[in-house]
Chains A and B, each alone.
Chain A
């Protein structure tokens, strides 16, 4: 990776984070915001209105950090899966994590669960869905990429059907809108406590993926070749699936289902730093964080109501992907 790219990829997320603090319906001036930060983190005395404190630290900062964490999480697991499956069209929910998490959330909603229970169910079912896909794929005792993808499709279809069942029996005035809204994805209700819950697993899983990122290069050459180079492919694949699933499930259980990010961002990363996963994974983290933060800024400020984030990423993401296809003439070479 060139020095210029590294600089951009480090500075862009930090700059966007800072800028996003000032975006929103409650307008803040720079000096007040700096004083509020000084008071909060360095105990520099200043006279700050409660509203400013509340907007900055209870609403905007958690939401901004969460948007960045979710964007980074989906992108890094997408990039890892694309390498592992030797297929640039794979997204992080290829093994059914989103559909299964969606079912968990829908189930918790009809059971009158509070926000914590919805998150807990989404997370657990996300893990269960991927575990199922992994077990189904092991009919040959190894896990060829094609079998994994097929089992993922099976698991996704199964849990999508279960989501439909729950929607069908759910109370159409209270529960059904809540389920639908959850499935569209949003960061509107993120609080500081969500960050404390979701960040540690996202950070651990991401660290795991970063640690084996060079081996993803070798794995992308195919199972038999990787084994002839001394790579224990079953262990490595299991590790990548475990890390990517923890990361994705932690993101999805807070944000709901946000499509396209994990598919597109790795492509943008490849255009910028090339296919070497040693550079691609860190680049995907940075670009994904920036992308979802910008999307979420639009989601919360573009119109007077909140736009579901999942809709926005798809509406902007799909044309962007089409543009990429044109730009790269359909190939990734």
Chain B
């Protein structure tokens, strides 16, 4: 059964319909990458998937249970959300921020125990940030902060992770680093849905791609089937050439996208 799915989803802010007739589902262990132009509704779609926003019609299901019938605590135990824009008013330590991920597993008057701290340290180690545990969260770089937020989401021990442009504002190396971690997480059985502005990221790191434009999906399927020149032209409105590279260290021929010169 699909770990998370949307059937015939439609969402609107008042009169303005953001998307309509959207179907998607992923299994545990799969990475779905949603591509689309600025303002096409990628983030709104993600916010519907974790129940922050309510669909106008259609349904979001977690393991077959409708999300509108679950309370936010049980949703938070199964779906983690890595936010894009982020500012913290207080310089909490990295470890403290990651420990916040334990909130859905604690009672209203509870606070993290030694066991929760161990989990937080374990997931910090998974993303390679354990040595930063006592640093103020406000004084680390954007890439490091993204890793900490991913660790916090892992501390929730969810089945599904939703990521809103996890590579935005990151340099080349950190983009690759984050996406490798995403792939590693999927291999441990977690389902990942992320949005991105880079078709290359979808080609290199995802199992499924959804191309979003004009209030719906233009294409949904494997990267090879979906990321083709006519689809990219429709989504981004410019000519794009998809190149095939044989001598990569990916163990298979890979494809990358090149925008046209004019």
Per the 8 Å Cβ criterion, residues 251-280 of A in contact with B are 270, 274-276, 278
A221 and B149 alpha carbons, distance in the complex (Å): 12
Query: Would you call the interface of chain B mostly helix, strand, loop, or mixed?
Result: mixed
B162 and chain A: residue at smallest CB distance? A228
B52 in contact (CB, < 8 A) = yes
B73 and chain A: residue at smallest CB distance? A230
Is B96's CB under 8 angstroms from A217's CB? yes
Interface string of B92-122 (1 = CB under 8 A from A): 1100110011011010111110000000000
B65 in contact (CB, < 8 A) = no
Quick one: which of B75, B100, B108 has the most chain A CB within 10 A? Answer: B100
Q: Please choose the segment from A46-54, A83-91, A183-191, A298-306 that sits at the chain B interface, where 4 or more of its residues have CB less than 8 A away.
A: A83-91
A218 and B80 alpha carbons, distance in the complex (Å): 15
Please name all residues of chain B whose beta carbon is closer than 8 Å to the beta carbon of A270 when the two chains form the complex.
Answer: 90
A215, A227, A332: the one contacting B90 at CB < 8 Å is A332
Is A212's CB under 8 angstroms from B75's CB? no
Q: How far is the CB of A84 from chain B (nearest CB, A)?
A: 11
A223 and chain B: residue at smallest CB distance? B52
Please name all residues of chain A whose beta carbon is closer than 8 Å to the beta carbon of B57 when the two chains form the complex.
Answer: none
Is B100's CB under 8 angstroms from A217's CB? yes
Is B52's CB under 8 angstroms from A275's CB? no
B74, B103, B112: the one contacting A229 at CB < 8 Å is B103
Q: Answer whether A228 and B80 are a contact pair too, CB < 8 Å, given A217-B96, A274-B93, A333-B136.
A: yes
Is B89's CB under 8 angstroms from A88's CB? yes
Per the 8 Å Cβ criterion, residues 176-199 of A in contact with B are none
B168 in contact (CB, < 8 A) = no
Is B72's CB under 8 angstroms from A332's CB? no
Is A230's CB under 8 angstroms from B52's CB? no
Please name all residues of chain B whose beta carbon is closer than 8 Å to the beta carbon of A224 when the two chains form the complex.
Answer: 52, 83
Is B103's CB under 8 angstroms from A220's CB? no
Please name all residues of chain A whose beta carbon is closer than 8 Å to the beta carbon of B72 when the two chains form the complex.
Answer: 227, 230-232
A225 in contact (CB, < 8 A) = yes
Is A228's CB under 8 angstroms from B81's CB? yes
Is A220's CB under 8 angstroms from B76's CB? no
Q: How far is the CB of A177 from chain B (nearest CB, A)?
A: 42
Quick one: which of A88, A213, A214 has the most chain B CB within 10 A? Answer: A214
Q: How far is the CB of B136 from chain A (nearest CB, A)?
A: 7
A218 and B99 alpha carbons, distance in the complex (Å): 9
* Size bracket, chain B contacts: 35 or more
A212, A220, A225: the one contacting B108 at CB < 8 Å is A212
Q: How far is the CB of B235 from chain A (nearest CB, A)?
A: 27
A213 and chain B: residue at smallest CB distance? B111
B83, B92, B136, B156: the one contacting A217 at CB < 8 Å is B92
B50, B83, B89, B108: the one contacting A87 at CB < 8 Å is B89
A211 in contact (CB, < 8 A) = yes
Please name all residues of chain B whose beta carbon is closer than 8 Å to the beta carbon of A226 when the two chains form the complex.
Answer: 103
Please name all residues of chain B whose beta carbon is closer than 8 Å to the beta carbon of A275 when the two chains form the complex.
Answer: 90-92
Is A218's CB under 8 angstroms from B93's CB? no
B262 in contact (CB, < 8 A) = no
Is A230's CB under 8 angstroms from B104's CB? yes
A214 and B106 alpha carbons, distance in the complex (Å): 11
Q: Answer whether A229 and B104 are a contact pair too, CB < 8 Å, given A214-B112, A276-B96, A278-B111.
A: yes
Please name all residues of chain B whose beta carbon is closer than 8 Å to the beta carbon of A227 when the two chains form the complex.
Answer: 52, 72
B52, B86, B91, B138: the one contacting A228 at CB < 8 Å is B52
Please name all residues of chain B whose beta carbon is closer than 8 Å to the beta carbon of A228 when the two chains form the complex.
Answer: 50, 52, 76, 79-81, 83
Residues of B within 8 A of A (CB): 50, 52, 72-77, 79-81, 83, 86, 88-93, 96-97, 100-101, 103-104, 106, 108-112, 136, 138-139, 156
| A–B pairs, 7, beta carbons within 8 Å | A220-B92, A221-B97, A225-B86, A228-B79, A228-B83, A229-B104, A270-B90
Q: What 5 A-B pairs have minimum CB-CB distances, sorted nearest first?
A: A230-B76, A230-B104, A214-B111, A275-B90, A228-B81
